[in-house]
Amino acid sequence: MNTRYEMRFTGSGGQGIILASVILAEAAVVAGENAVQSQAYGPEARGGICKAEAIIGKEKIWFGKVTKPDFLLAMTQASIDKFSQDIKENAFVIADASLRIPASLKPDQVLQLPILDTAEKKVGKSMTANIVAVGAINAALGLFDKQSLQEAVKRHIPSGTEKLNWRALEEGMKLITPKQAEKFHHTMS
């Protein structure tokens, strides 16, 4: 893993954006790394724009606020339009395939993936999109081993939904080709 990542997760309330950031921060802790996590959303929690942030790294984290994200996940058009404006120049962006990418982002820094479509059609439950995203993020960035990631997921899902969530995690990982993983591991190092 890189020494430190500042990560921003965005979408709308009800998509599990906050849970996705919690799971990746938890996976860092399970893997022996350091992590902090925070979230914010409007008063209209379901359907309103939301963001969550995590800082993960090998070193101690002395300042817990994301200032210029290295990574952005965008699940809605409103979220990519709003939150892609203050990321690092070379930040890596994963956006749902349904989104229109703002001109301010360079094509080589954005990876559009069918996250929402995969959750609905391949996993069979649209509510697993956040877990699909976690799998894709982890595969693209090479953050944690599968066991650490599964343990983090298990700690935050309802008992009895493990098979569904493992499938969502696997489908998310499958969205990243080895060539993409190599490119973004290198870009973020």
Per-residue pLDDT 10s for the chain (189 aa) are 457 899 999 998 889 999 999 999 999 999 999 999 998 765 555 667 889 999 999 889 998 889 899 999 999 999 999 999 999 998 999 999 999 999 999 999 999 999 999 999 999 999 999 999 999 999 999 999 999 999 999 999 999 999 999 999 999 999 999 888 888 775 544
Task: Please give the tally of structural domains in the chain.
Answer: 1
Please give the order of strands across the beta sheet that includes 71-74: 34-41, 49-57, 4-12, 71-74, 92-96, 110-113
Any idea which residue has 């059609």 for tokens?
121
* Residue-range definition of the domain harbouring residue 127: 4-188
Contacts of 137 (CB under 8 A, 6+ apart): 20, 24, 71, 73, 94, 143, 172
For 111-121, b/e burial (b = at least 16 CB within 10 A) is bbbbbbebbbe
Q: Which of 21, 27, 40, 28 is nearest to 4 (CA)?
A: 28
Q: Please report where in the chains the tokens 């817990």 appear, as a residue.
A: 64
Give, for 9, the enclosing helix (H) or strand (E). Answer: strand 4-12
CATH code for the domain of 67 = 3.40.920.10
